[in-house]
Amino acid sequence: MGSHRRLVPSGFDRGAAAALGVLSAAAAALGTVPAVAAPHDDTRSRVDRLYEEAEKATEAYNKADERADVLRGQVGDAQDRIARQQERLNSMREQLGSLAGAQYRSGGLDPTLALLFSDDPDDYLAKAAAIDRISSHQAGELKDLQDVMRQLAQERAEATKKLGELEKSRKAVASHKRTVEKKLAEARQLLNSLPDDERAGYDRSSRSGRDDLPDLGGALPTSGRAAAAVAAARSALGRPYVWGANGPSGFDCSGLMQWSYAQAGVALPRTSQAQRYAGRQVPLSQAQPGDLVTYRSDASHVGMYAGNGQVIHAPYPGAPVRYDPVGMMPGATVTRV
């Protein structure tokens, strides 16, 4: 997602310095605002702003949705532990009931009177010792029972807390979803108000498919996993932008990065903000294929460096996964996974 306008790139890989002129021309071809504003430029800038706001809300949605998934797993684990503790508690209660019955049957008569009426004092003393042992064992069982009951109460309290957090996260997901849909609906309405030729010009991608590949230079990925991720991202060229999606039929910006690295056996976090810190930071001038490039001060957009000053990314609704100049947006930072 993000603005279709392209800014001057601030850094490239080895051999990419010669691409400065190419990138400038690409920026111009993609609809850079002319010095004298055209009648519909204000509409286009508002669409850009709405797409940017929608993308920020999309990443917030992704974060809340990821949090909800984690909480659902934690609640499920807590419920399993509660069930096991309850089974243990029921079993201990049954054992204590048996011990209590045995003590009653064996020790229902006052020990002093039992000694007076006993025909065999030695036999009585043996029985009394057995009663003492039962009582001591029962005391230990009672303590264990109390411990299990405390653990069970704690598990239930924690599960209740997690359920409350899950409900808040679900509400956050719904709220962010409404925000995204509202921003996108406003953007579509504004785009539909443009003349057909201007709307088509806005939606025109720099390179949208495999048949029009840019010159990526001779830069090589820094690792096998980076090479596999680049290959996966290139295989997604032309697939649609779908907000909140992480493939394989559609992607938002961070979803494309997560899916591409998953094909290389690497688990990236879901949001662009978290992906920014999923590896080692390197200067933009040292970017290599497979590096993640995040944009804006809040890292609300992310793409993958492909070489020679180009990134692969999922731009915004209506624009497919494509190549664009690395300097397409401000605030670029590079992360090597």
CA-to-CA distance for 50 and 57, rounded, in angstroms? 10
Does the active-site annotation cover 313?
yes
Which H, E and C letters describe 100-120, residue by residue?
HHHHHHHHCCCHHHHHHHCCC
Element (H, E) at 157: helix 121-192
Catalytic hit among 4, 40, 137, 253: 253
Does the active-site annotation cover 301?
yes
Catalytic hit among 40, 137, 176, 313: 313
Main-chain phi, psi angles of 241, to 5 degrees = -75, 125
CA-to-CA distance for 161 and 168, rounded, in angstroms? 11
For residue 131, the tally of other CB atoms under 10 A from its CB is 15
Residue 214's contacts (CB-CB under 8 Å, 6 or more residues apart) are 207, 306, 308, 310, 323
Q: Which two tokens stand for residue 43?
A: 């509409």
Q: Are 253 and 327 in contact (CB under 8 A)?
A: no
Catalytic hit among 40, 137, 176, 301: 301
Please classify residue 313 by burial: count the beta carbons closer than 10 Å to its beta carbon, then call 0-12 exposed, 13-18 middle and 19+ buried. buried
Q: Which two tokens stand for residue 65?
A: 């949705």
**Positions marked active-site:** 253, 301, 313
